Amino acid sequence: MKNENKALSGWDAPYAAAPESSSHAKIKKQYDLFIGGKWVKPSSGKYFDTINPATELKIAEIAEANASDVDLAVKSSRKAYDTVWSKLPAKERGKYLFRIARMIQERSRELAVIETMDGGKSIRESRDIDIPLVSAHFFYYAGWADKLEYAFPNRKVQSLGVAGQIIPWNFPLLMAAWKIAPALACGNTVVLKPAETTSLTALKLAEIIQDSGLPDGVVNIVTGFGATGAAIVKHPDVNKVAFTGSTDVGKLIQKSIAGTDKKLTLELGGKAANIIFDDAPIDQAIEGIINGIFFNQGHVCCAGSRLFVQENVADLVISKLKRRMETLIVGDPMDKNTDIGAINSKQQLKTITDYIEIGKNEGAEMFQSSCSLPGKGFFVRPTLFTNVAQSHRISREEIFGPVLAIQTFRTIEEVVEKANNVPYGLSAGVWTDKGSKIFNLTQKLRAGVVWANTYNKFDPTSPFGGYKESGFGREGGMHGLDAYLK
């Protein structure tokens, strides 16, 4: 299969390595907590290691914040809100955000390198997608800061106070930007916790914030594990909780703030359906499917992890997909040729390989690209399953890895029913030549975002969020302001 596929695709010689240099990335040996504009030691004295998932080598030590550190961060956030930030003219808030956006652009190369070292995603993605979107979000919300009355005409808007924000590891700095930029633009102050495996770029952002002269305490970054996140959620002086992560933790958070007047937005898991009709531009769709599930190692809550192909083109689509998968380069994320980098953690690699076993045991037929994997680090081959049934766990549960489950369909009614028949509803994709089919499906698919003839396209002006167990509230665009205002 290997040779046959390579001959068919014309890909038979490996590319010479083209690694990005990390020599300009300034990483300290140890990071403290960023509270009240200063670096503060954790009161427990505890630090944990952050490692490079592509090499398994330690990069730095990160402070573990406990409830009393979180309390200090919330108090400093409250003080900054009461004494400075809520009193500042909106135009001045905007100026700080513009300054931070420009500084992110200036340091984009260093941020991209650190994002790749700490998280495992390919340098091409962190350089061309993540970091440009980070500065774009700051620019976008900087523009809104003094125009809120135009976003909500005839309403008097008011900030909420202290926002507690908890983010995952799949887009570390981008998720921080999604949360911090609109919160500050609306006049709130922030306590943010990055995910335990990817704290470094949030801490680099803290350095940028410090250099930008943003008043002390407006943004506080506390690092740690789930218990640190839970301490933020439970703190009585937090007015708003914004969480992106797993549905299980989202449910816990919802329970823990029930009965309080805290405002909440949740962006949780997904199991997106990517739907290919027989009239679709097939080669373009193949690239969209590949991008939809293998982009960022499938570490995307809106990943197109279920593929529905119209029956009469299924053989063609599957054979083209397999051929294309054979050309994907899996390996060193710092290499500019790499398509699929490292899985974020050993634990996540185990989750993915367990699901691959589950798929095989359920009777689905597996295909994996025949590429070789590096000897060290957390890597998995891009994988697809055919002969998948609606009841299979690989077609119902979020895997968060480069694993695609393929099903076929005959009619629109059938595919809508199958696509909607999961507990999630974050995103979907439709590939067809007919505009009428696209409009028909966007009405019927229960998903927050539906891409047509493209996939995984993000823009700060466009709202993002889910239905059902994928959460509620919208981030991005004008809608993203609503979550941070009374």
The binder of ligand ADP chosen from 252, 257, 282, 452 (CB under 6 A): 252
441 binds ligand ADP, rule: CB under 6 A:
no
195 binds ligand ADP, rule: CB under 6 A:
yes
The binder of ligand ADP chosen from 246, 337, 387, 462 (CB under 6 A): 246
Q: Are the C-beta atoms of 42 and 32 separated by less than 8 Å? A: yes
**Candidates 204-212, 228-236, 332-340, 471-479; binding stretch for ligand ADP (CB under 6 A):** 228-236
69 binds ligand ADP, rule: CB under 6 A:
no
H/E element holding 204?
helix 200-212
| CA atoms of 112 and 109, how far apart (whole Å) | 5
229 binds ligand ADP, rule: CB under 6 A:
yes
* 240 residue type, one letter: K
Tell me how far, at minimum, the Cβ of 239 lies from ligand ADP, in Å: 17
Residue nearer to ligand ADP on the CB measure, 168 or 448: 168
196 binds ligand ADP, rule: CB under 6 A:
yes
**Candidates 227-235, 376-384, 414-422, 471-479; binding stretch for ligand ADP (CB under 6 A):** 227-235
Give the interface size with ligand ADP as a residue count (CB under 6 A).
Answer: 17
Residue nearer to ligand ADP on the CB measure, 245 or 476: 245
97: its two tokens: 């955000």
Residue nearer to ligand ADP on the CB measure, 105 or 353: 353
- CB count within 10 Å of CB 56 equals 12
458 binds ligand ADP, rule: CB under 6 A:
no
**Candidates 129-137, 243-251, 282-290, 372-380; binding stretch for ligand ADP (CB under 6 A):** 243-251
245 binds ligand ADP, rule: CB under 6 A:
yes
226 binds ligand ADP, rule: CB under 6 A:
yes
Q: DSSP label at 447? A: -
43 binds ligand ADP, rule: CB under 6 A:
no
| CA atoms of 272 and 289, how far apart (whole Å) | 11
| CA atoms of 232 and 317, how far apart (whole Å) | 47
- Residue 210, C-beta contacts closer than 8 angstroms, at least 6 positions apart: 34, 37
Residue nearer to ligand ADP on the CB measure, 107 or 299: 299
Q: Are the C-beta atoms of 272 and 303 separated by less than 8 Å? A: yes
Residue nearer to ligand ADP on the CB measure, 172 or 331: 172
Q: Are the C-beta atoms of 258 and 460 separated by less than 8 Å? A: no
Tell me how far, at minimum, the Cβ of 284 lies from ligand ADP, in Å: 31
| CA atoms of 54 and 267, how far apart (whole Å) | 28
Tell me how far, at minimum, the Cβ of 228 lies from ligand ADP, in Å: 7
Q: Are the C-beta atoms of 216 and 38 separated by less than 8 Å? A: yes
**Candidates 54-62, 189-197, 307-315, 417-425; binding stretch for ligand ADP (CB under 6 A):** 189-197
Q: Interaction with ligand ADP in 162-181: which residues (CB under 6 A)?
A: 166-169
DSSP secondary structure of 199-242: -HHHHHHHHHHHHHTPPTTSEEE---SHHHHHHHHH-TT--EEE
Residue nearer to ligand ADP on the CB measure, 80 or 230: 230
Among 20, 64, 125, 267, the one annotated catalytic: 267
Strands annotated E in 90-182? 162-166
| CA atoms of 46 and 411, how far apart (whole Å) | 58
Residue nearer to ligand ADP on the CB measure, 74 or 249: 249
**Candidates 38-46, 173-181, 223-231, 453-461; binding stretch for ligand ADP (CB under 6 A):** 223-231
Q: DSSP label at 161? A: S
Determine the number of helices (DSSP H) and then strands (DSSP E) in the chain: 17, 20
225 binds ligand ADP, rule: CB under 6 A:
yes
| CA atoms of 481 and 137, how far apart (whole Å) | 12
| CA atoms of 108 and 169, how far apart (whole Å) | 19
110 catalytic per annotation = no
Q: Interaction with ligand ADP in 256-295: which residues (CB under 6 A)?
A: none
The binder of ligand ADP chosen from 63, 134, 222, 230 (CB under 6 A): 230
Tell me how far, at minimum, the Cβ of 167 lies from ligand ADP, in Å: 6
Tell me how far, at minimum, the Cβ of 246 lies from ligand ADP, in Å: 3
466 binds ligand ADP, rule: CB under 6 A:
no
Residue nearer to ligand ADP on the CB measure, 159 or 239: 239
H/E element holding 306?
strand 306-310
With b for 16 or more beta-carbon neighbours within 10 A and e for fewer, the 253-292 pattern comes to bbeebeeeebbbbbbbbbbbbbbbbeebeeeebbebbbbb
249 binds ligand ADP, rule: CB under 6 A:
yes
Q: DSSP label at 312? A: G
In the complex, residue closest to ligand ADP by CB: 229
Residue nearer to ligand ADP on the CB measure, 74 or 364: 74
Q: Which neighbouring-strand residues pair with 220?
A: 191
469 catalytic per annotation = no
24: its two tokens: 């300009």
Among 186, 301, 302, 371, the one annotated catalytic: 301
Shortest CA distance to 59 belongs to which of 175, 201, 189? 201
| CA atoms of 338 and 324, how far apart (whole Å) | 14
**Residues with active-site annotation:** 267, 301
Residues lying near ligand ADP in the complex (CB under 6 A): 166-169, 193, 195-196, 225-226, 229-230, 233, 245-246, 249, 252-253
